[in-house]
Amino acid sequence: MKKVIRFLACFGLDAIALVYVRIALVGEYLQKKRISYLNKRLLSRVRAKGKGVRLNGTIICTSPENLELGNNVHINGNAYLRAEGGLYIGDNAHFSRNLTIYTINHDYSGEALPYDCRYVKKSVRIDKNVWIGMNVCIIPGVQIHEGAIVGMGAVVTKDVPRCAIVGGNPARVLKFRDIEHYERLDREGKYGGVNGALL
């Protein structure tokens, strides 16, 4: 957009450049309104939704009637959630961009190769106070226990222990949170909201 404006300005076409900027701003505004509408519609279809749920950006969720969201759940843009097998997300769970969660997979042991039209469903459970970084993939049947942190780019192929910090592909335990510190903050009800600001 900046290149077009500079090009038009070089020829003394500032008025046209200004119109171009206004059109671009209106388009951006309409896109944000469209995403907001789609996210509200998605939230109206979920099985259960707590208070303070925030969907920031484009979220795709198949079978939202199988999705349960706790309080203060934040999911950022470009998330892809396949909830057919059941997806539970507990209180204060925060997710960065480009999250992928699958609760179903093709049946490769069926009647066709490489797989047939049937699906194998396995629920995913993400407990309270979980923080998941950018570009994380979670496969069917996994449980991420409370207080866990999943690092950027991790592929979660098995259960994550309570308060574990995991990363890599496949995700493995790197270390654990300070349990006493975690439990004290949880007992005192000190939870982060938008950008970690205390609720």
Contact criterion met (CB below 8 Å) for 51 and 74? no
Q: What 3-state DSSP class applies to 197?
A: coil
Torsional class of 30: left (φ above 0), alpha (ψ -120 to 50), beta (otherwise): alpha
Query: Going by DSSP bridges, is the β-strand pair 164-167/172-176 parallel, antiparallel, or unpaired?
Result: antiparallel
What distances in angstroms separate CA 23 from CA 1, 10, 95, one per listed residue? 11, 20, 33
Report the distance separating Cα 124 and Cα 104, nearest Å.
10
What distances in angstroms separate CA 177 from CA 118, 130, 170, one per listed residue? 40, 12, 20
Known catalytic residue: 145?
A: no
Report the distance separating Cα 112 and Cα 110, nearest Å.
6
Report the distance separating Cα 55 and Cα 36, nearest Å.
8
Helices then strands, counting H and E runs in the chain, come out as 3, 19
> Which candidate in 94, 106, 145, 181 is catalytic?
106
- Active-site residue numbers? 106
